[in-house]
Amino acid sequence: MKTYLITGGAGFIGSNFVQYIVKMHGQDDVQIIILDALTYAGNLKNIESELNLPYVHFIKGDIGDADVVADIFAKFDIDYVVNFAAESHVDRSISNPRLFLETNILGTQALLDAARRAWGKDSNAGGYAEGKKFLQVSTDEVYGSLEKEYDEPQPLRLDDKLKKVVEKRKNLKTFGKHFFTEDTPLSPRSPYSASKAGADMLVAAYHETYGMPVNITRCSNNYGAYQFPEKLIPLMIKNVIEGKKLPVYGTGMNVRDWLYVTDHCKAIDEVLEKGRIGEVYNIGGFNEECNINIVKLIINTISEIMHNEPAYQSLLRCRLEDVSEDLISYVTDRPGHDKRYAINPTKIATELGWYPETSFETGIKSTIRWYLDNQKWVDDVTSGDYQKYYDDMYKNR
């Protein structure tokens, strides 16, 4: 029997992870406790069917609320904490840094303390009960920014160790010679990434100081179903469907490494089960692409779907002829905008046998179809003060 405490389980990656665990381990003896404050980014609709299962329990609350968290540990014999809960949007961290420190650093510290108290209690000789683990979901952004050395992507050559593991991926490419590894020094450049780096350091400190059984995972940019439409990919899909302008920062040449969310969930599951205690694992997508190419790909894929499958045209909220690159609107760059992120996943691939199996071509098509088929979800999650936020964000750019 394994009991998971999944924080932020109503958000984008957290809800995908809840669905993944139900699908992969639901038949085993598992219990899933979801703790989520339901901020603008969390929505119970994301886990609607999972919440009907007798072994899934939802608690609305703040990870920083020591009483709420202590109650959970008192009521359930938690084995795994998977901490997704966070303020996660860089732009919001630029306008309100403090909230990011409160949730991402102090919230993580409250969770760590509760786990330490609960798990230490049952331990022998100052150790921790067998099989417990605190997994901190972090980001490659804690490493800062890499140089973009090539204007056009070059073939990515895998070394022999990686070649042995990676089977399904072909034609990989890169915009540079350097990659983040687990040994890259932390050098965060936004309030968001600074808050995540602070949390990572606390988690590492709890391991060193109190012997807490921990792992830290640092992933690249995720994409897939249930992502709130403020991040690049879902925002662009939503705006194309609605025939609205597509705001692209600067020249659109910043490079990100895109990771399909289901591949990420699988990686976290592997680290929980097999990751060496105290270790950091980087999780990359093997898919470097610059923002402007992503935006063009989204426009062209939506247009292609509409032409090949006319039944989909009724889902468009603009004229088909409006779906074109004329929608692109370059706006003033984000302050301190990191140039390039790229991950070397050799450690997780060689130690745990994981690599990102989903090619970007496959992942982006299923993501676009999901957003086309789930516009009611988009309407629901953007029904609050989304429009005001959106207008404020882009009004002076």
Ligand X SMILES: NC(=O)c1ccc[n+]([C@@H]2O[C@H](COP(=O)([O-])OP(=O)(O)OC[C@H]3O[C@@H](n4cnc5c(N)ncnc54)[C@H](O)[C@@H]3O)[C@@H](O)[C@H]2O)c1
Sites of contact with ligand X (CB under 6 A): 7-8, 10-14, 35-39, 41-42, 62-64, 84-88, 103, 107, 137, 139, 196, 219, 221-222, 228
Which of 103/128 has CB closer to ligand X?
103
Q: What's the closest the beta carbon of residue 322 comes to ligand X, in angstroms?
A: 29
Q: What's the closest the beta carbon of residue 83 comes to ligand X, in angstroms?
A: 7
Q: What is the DSSP letter of 396?
A: T
Distance CA 177, CA 179 (A): 7
Which of 196/340 has CB closer to ligand X?
196
Q: What's the closest the beta carbon of residue 217 comes to ligand X, in angstroms?
A: 9
Q: Across-strand partners of 270?
A: none
The single residue of 192, 226, 281, 341 carrying the catalytic annotation is 192
Strand segments, DSSP code E, in 24-147 are 30-36, 56-60, 80-83, 133-139
Distance CA 378, CA 391 (A): 17
Which of 64/213 has CB closer to ligand X?
64
Q: Is 232 helix (H, G, I), strand (E, B) or coil?
A: helix
Q: Which residues contact 354 (CB under 8 A, 6 or more apart)?
A: 266, 267, 270, 283, 345, 348
Distance CA 385, CA 26 (A): 36
Q: What is the DSSP letter of 185?
A: P
The single residue of 36, 79, 87, 140 carrying the catalytic annotation is 140
Q: What's the closest the beta carbon of residue 69 comes to ligand X, in angstroms?
A: 9
Distance CA 145, CA 257 (A): 12
Which of 14/144 has CB closer to ligand X?
14
Distance CA 110, CA 113 (A): 5
Closest by CA position to 50, among listed 31, 37, 69? 31
Q: Across-strand partners of 57?
A: 33
Which of 20/228 has CB closer to ligand X?
228
Which of 36/263 has CB closer to ligand X?
36
Which of 86/316 has CB closer to ligand X?
86
Question: Which residue of the chain is nearest ligand X when measured via CB?
Answer: 11
Look up 141 and say whether it is catalytic: yes
Helix H segments across the chain?
12-25, 66-75, 90-95, 97-100, 108-121, 160-165, 191-210, 232-242, 261-274, 291-308, 346-352, 360-373, 375-381, 386-395
Distance CA 274, CA 272 (A): 6
Distance CA 191, CA 311 (A): 44
Q: What's the closest the beta carbon of residue 11 comes to ligand X, in angstroms?
A: 2
Residue length of the chain: 397
Within 10 Å of residue 13's Cβ, how many Cβ atoms?
25
Which of 103/346 has CB closer to ligand X?
103
Q: What's the closest the beta carbon of residue 340 comes to ligand X, in angstroms?
A: 15
The single residue of 62, 141, 200, 263 carrying the catalytic annotation is 141
Look up 192 and say whether it is catalytic: yes
Which residues are tagged catalytic?
140-141, 192
